[in-house]
Amino acid sequence: MASHRKSRTPGPRVAGIRTPVLATAALTSVALLSQTANAAPTDDDRPSLEEVEKKVGDLYRQAESATEKYNAAKEKTAKQRKQVDTLLDDVAKRTQKLNEAREELGSFAAAQYRTGAGIPDTATFLLADTPQDIFDQSQLMDRMTGRQKVAVDDYVTQQSETMKRRQEATESLETLTESQGDLKTAKATVQKKLGDARELMAKLTAEEKARLAAIEKKKQQEAARKAAELARQQAERQKAQEEAAQQESGTSDSSESSGSATSPSTSTDSSYAAKAEKAIAFARAQIGKPYVWGATGPGSYDCSGLTQAAWKAAGVTLPRTTYDQVDAGTTVPVSQAQPGDLVFFYDDITHVGIYIGNGMMIHAPKPGAYVREESVYYDGESSIHSIVRPA
């Protein structure tokens, strides 16, 4: 007899188990949620261009900071390597002298063994055949005893100094190893920051890069405006100083018949201006050369490498890093900046340029850029740390 039951439509199975329709819907929802969670971020999740610009700028500044630490570690390593080499050379020379002193002592011991010239006693003199033999042997022993004492003293001195120098060389080698570790760490940090910045920029579309360039252009226009304002203020200040000097000169002429003596301050300003002119001429000749971190020329520079080389051309020796250059002169207000002055940036003093007048400077900006003229306000007024007159 045929069955009168209504057959069921088979539902989907999960792991071999038939599941009801509602369970299927739930599983589908879970799958969709999972796909959404694993999907690429939407446009709303992407950082804005302003955020990207700030992040890239921060990375470049961090790279510059690491570069200055690298420069300091490199300079320190070079000095310590030279010190170690000097100590090792000294150890080698002293070791040679120590060996010579040891050989001299050995020759005395061998001579005493051959001649029997030990501690003089009655038996020694009884062995002599004649009074002259006794006299000669006594004189020889006296001379050997005196020379032997000198040799022993020299040996002890050479041994003490050699051990001292060896200890100094060991300590210097340990310090050198530590500095080499710092150098390696700073180098890795620079490379990491630059890599992160390049990665961020690579993710931008062509349209976003164009918009970012427009933002940068607007920023530079504002910097140029502020530079022009600074130039105007400086020109007014210079004019006022000249008028005051003329008035003072007129007063002086009425009371002095000797004429035109040059004041010490005028002479100093003139001397500085002559050196600054040479420094600026050198810096200007480097325009167009690439920024390369750790570079000091002649084909490429980092920021402090450029300022150091520029002032070296003027006969003035500056330290290698921004941290030391900022202390290598007299600090002056921005309003009183003169051509040749060093302009330092950021609270951690990680960037520097050379002022050329009219609110402008020459500097090696950052990786991927070239030595160029630019407003001292290129990164905003607040970014200026100080102005230093180095000579």
Asked if 305 and 364 touch (Cβ cutoff 8 Å), the reply is yes
- Written as one letter, the residue type at 358 is N
Q: What is the DSSP letter of 381?
A: G
* Amino acid code (one letter) for 118: G
**Residue 134 and residue 156: Cα distance in Å, rounded?**
33
Alpha helix (H) residue ranges in the chain: 21-38, 49-115, 122-126, 131-202, 206-255, 264-285, 303-313, 322-325
Strand, helix or coil for residue 355:
strand
Query: Distance (Å, rounded) from C-alpha 385 to C-alpha 61?
Result: 14
3-state SS, residue 383? helix
CA–CA distances in Å: residue 362 to residues 62, 302, 379: 21, 12, 14
Clarify whether 303 is annotated catalytic. yes
* DSSP string across 259-299: --PPPHHHHHHHHHHHHHHHHHHHHHHTTTPBB-TT-BSSS
Catalytic residue among 69, 363, 366, 385: 363
For the chain, report the end-to-end CA distance as a whole number of angstroms: 118
Instruction: Spot the catalytic one: 351, 366, 385, 389.
Output: 351
Given 66, 303, 352, 360, the catalytic residue: 303
**Torsion angle (degrees, nearest 10) of CA 45, 51, 52, 53:** 160
Among residues 268, 282, 288, 350, the alpha carbon closest in space to that of 315 is found at 282
Gyration radius from the chain CA atoms:
40
CA–CA distance, 366 with 293 (Å, rounded to integer): 8
* Nearest Cα to Cα of residue 166 among 56, 87, 234, 235: 87
Q: With contact defined as beta carbons under 8 Å apart, do 291 and 60 qualify?
A: no
16: left (phi over 0), alpha (psi -120 to 50) or beta: left
Please tell me the distance from the alpha carbon of residue 287 to that of residue 373, in angstroms, as a whole number: 8
Active site residues: 303, 351, 363
